[in-house]
Amino acid sequence: MQIDVQRTEYDSGKLERADLKASPFEQFAGWFEQACQSKVIEPNAMSLATAGADGRPSVRTVLLKSYDRRGFVFFTNFESRKARQLKENPNASLLFPWLALQRQVIISGRVERVSTAESLAYFITRPRGSQIGAWISQQSSTITSRKLLEMKWGEIQRKFSEGEVPLPSWWGGYRVVPRDIEFWQGRVNRLHDRFLYTAKEDGSWIIDRLAP
């Protein structure tokens, strides 16, 4: 298959300045709802790009678990590669690739840990299997085999066979507090509509149209 001849014409929609909400969070809420209604696979899946003190970037897919005017929240192991990089460089970028709608949302900003109370409030809503999974995986570390994970799974299952699974001290949430949010709508002839919200010190937002 020749990659260079692959073509998709983006003709499913448009985005005008008059369509935009004053707040990027309201704009995101509308697009997110449309992604859910359109049955986009994992609409809350987002690429998370980070870089440590060495400047070497890495990217992976995580799941958005909540958002409000404070920012966008995901959860992970505090000993993972992403967490180590965020400790060295608390800045990140998120990308929501809603390709079925020919749309993207790109968010950049500083990152902060959420409170333990907020992490616990989410943790207790997770399926029990996911709670146990947070206990057994030393995320991003090298392991010798899958069998080791399965042995640990059995061990933790037995340990917490009665009662609730507690929140691990090494697991919790991060909030990406946006400095800017871009809304991208594909258009014909690659003349895409792009609008960038940039935060001002007073809490308001500047909106600029970007060249495609």
pLDDT, tens digit, 9 for 90 and up, residues 25-47? 999 999 999 999 999 999 999 99
Give the pLDDT band (50/70/90) at residue 5.
confident
pLDDT, tens digit, 9 for 90 and up, residues 58-104? 999 999 999 999 999 999 999 999 999 999 999 999 999 999 999 99
Answer yes or no: 190 catalytic: yes
Residues sharing a CB contact under 8 Å with residue 169, sequence separation 6 or more, in sequence order: none
Q: Is the pLDDT of residue 109 over 90?
A: yes
How far is the C-alpha of 205 from the C-alpha of 57, rounded, in Å? 28
Give the pLDDT band (50/70/90) at residue 135.
very high
Task: Kindly state the average pLDDT of the residues 16-28.
Answer: 97
Dihedral sign of CA atoms 50, 168, 62, 68 in order = negative
Domains and CATH numbers, the chain: 11-124+171-210 (2.30.110.10), 126-166 (no CATH)
Quote the DSSP letter at residue 166.
P
Residues sharing a CB contact under 8 Å with residue 17, sequence separation 6 or more, in sequence order: 195, 207, 209
Catalytic annotation, pick one of 56, 179, 190, 194: 190
How far is the C-alpha of 53 from the C-alpha of 51, rounded, in Å? 7
How far is the C-alpha of 109 from the C-alpha of 93, rounded, in Å? 7
pLDDT number for residue 30: 98
pLDDT number for residue 144: 87
- What predicted TM-score, i.e. pTM, was given to this entire model? 0.93
